[in-house]
Amino acid sequence: MIIFCSIALLKKPPTLSLPIMASSATTESATTAVNLEQVAYFLVTGASRGIGAKMAIETARKFKPGSVVVLLARSASGLESTRSEILTVNPHVTVVTSSVDLATASKELLNEIVEKSLGKQPVDRFGLACVIHNVGTVGNIGRKAAELDDRAEWEQYFGTNLFTVAVLNSCFLRKFQPVPNKLVINITSKACLVPFQSMTYYCAGKAAREMYFRVLAEEEASAGVTVLNYSPGPVDTEMTVDLQANSNAPAIRDYFKNLRDTTTILTTEQTTAKFLHILENGLFKSGDHVDYYDH
């Protein structure tokens, strides 16, 4: 049975609110609630459409004047459209777009993008530095796990979905080390916990990626870094249109067809509103996997 949305078995028990955006103190009384109404540096990958575009717009809406928003993806026109929507809801932020292929982007290129977006601004003028690692692809969904023997295809997939994510994250944290509150969001999936037919690359990539962020949360707990692995639920985007049309597994195609037929597939607005609710109310502890249906 295909279940993308929450099931009781996978629901996490309630967890204590632990330290986070407050200070470097890590006491159980500290909150993970994030105040977005401040001068922020905010970088979002996969911001040209879908979940990443909506999260960029709705999060940037809240920032104080002087904030800097950086949008990455390949489609320059998609990025420009997101930029224009952000400036409509919040004309007091600077929005920088960079058209980049994250499958192959080097550390040098990523550092250069961050440096250019800052210009001459010192990083300590920001109260919050936040990155949303949203970029994601489903990979080859026409082949079974046993048939995936193309090493270059594996490298391409993991390049986009894990290697560049980790390298960018490292560049980001190094640059913004002096900022008191550093928030790292990984857009994850139920597929990192449950195997879905035809989705080998996706399941393996999401599992590895989430574990990277869980280790990060452990290691950086006392360094002002808060990590949230947010699982957005099944959302109406190009990714799920592709799965519904092209998965080699009938159960996967039927699952998304049924969600669309019954209009129970989530919208990017719904999942973004839930994401902001979780963030602003601190309904997680650093490193947690939090699903749309958990709250």
Ligand X SMILES: NC(=O)c1ccc[n+]([C@@H]2O[C@H](COP(=O)([O-])OP(=O)(O)OC[C@H]3O[C@@H](n4cnc5c(N)ncnc54)[C@H](OP(=O)(O)O)[C@@H]3O)[C@@H](O)[C@H]2O)c1
Helix axes 268-281, 50-60, angle to 10 degrees: 50
Residue 104 beta carbon to ligand X: minimum distance, rounded to whole angstroms? 8
Produce one character per residue of 141-178: b if its CB has 16 or more CB atoms within 10 Å, e if not: bebeeeebeeeeebebbbbbbbbbbebbbebbbebbee
The footprint of ligand X on residues 7-26 (CB under 6 A) is none
| 74 is a contact residue toward ligand X (CB under 6 A) | yes
CA distance 66 to 75: 26
Provide the minimum distance between the beta carbon of 289 and ligand X in the complex, in angstroms, as a whole number.
Answer: 12
Minimum distance from residue 101 beta carbon to ligand X (Å) = 5
Q: According to the binding rule CB under 6 A, does residue 102 interact with ligand X?
A: yes
Parallel, antiparallel or unpaired: strands 40-45 and 225-231: unpaired
Cβ of residue 65: shortest distance to ligand X, in angstroms? 27
80/280 with CB nearer ligand X: 80
Based on the shown chain and the rule CB under 6 A, indicate whether residue 103 belongs to the binding site for ligand X. Answer: yes
Under the binding rule (CB under 6 A), the answer on residue 51 touching ligand X is yes
Q: In angstroms, give the least distance from the CB of 73 to ligand X.
A: 3
Examine residue 187 and tell whether it contacts ligand X (CB under 6 A).
yes
Under DSSP, is residue 227 helix (H, G, I), strand (E, B) or coil?
Answer: strand
Stretch that binds ligand X, among 31-39, 60-68, 83-91, 130-138 (CB under 6 A): 130-138
Report residue 290: phi and psi, to 5°.
-120, 125
Of all helices (H) and strands (E), which one includes residue 41? Answer: strand 40-45
Tokens of 72: 């990455």
The answer to whether residues 181 and 127 touch, using CB atoms and an 8 Å cutoff, is yes
CA pair distance 214, 211, nearest whole angstrom: 5
78 touching ligand X, by CB under 6 A: yes
Residues 143-182 that bind ligand X (CB under 6 A): 160
Using the minimum distance from each CB to ligand X, give the nearer residue, 46 or 127. Answer: 46
Ramachandran class of 131: left when φ > 0, alpha when ψ lies in -120 to 50, beta otherwise: beta
Q: Return the residue of 15, 23, 88, 101 that touches ligand X, per CB under 6 A.
A: 101
Min dist CB 222 to ligand X, Å, is 28
**Long-range pairs, 152-161, Cβ under 8 A, ≥24:** 154/201, 156/103, 157/201, 157/205, 158/205, 158/208, 159/102, 159/103, 159/104, 160/102, 160/103, 160/135, 161/135, 161/136, 161/137, 161/201, 161/205, 161/206, 161/209
Told to check if 189 binds ligand X by CB under 6 A, we report: yes
Q: In this complex, which beta carbon is closest to ligand X, that of residue 27 or of residue 77? A: 77
We find the least distance from the C-beta atom of residue 24 to ligand X, in angstroms, to be 30
Task: Pick the closer one to ligand X by CB: 137 or 281.
Answer: 137
- Site for ligand X, residues 210 to 269, rule: CB under 6 A: 232, 234-235, 237-240
Matching residue, tokens 């004047």: 65
Interface with ligand X (CB under 6 A), residue from 68, 73, 192, 252: 73
Rg of the chain over CA atoms, in angstroms? 18
Smallest distance from the beta carbon of 133 to ligand X, in angstroms?
A: 8
Residues that bind ligand X (CB under 6 A): 46-52, 73-75, 78, 101-103, 134-137, 160, 187, 189, 232, 234-235, 237-240
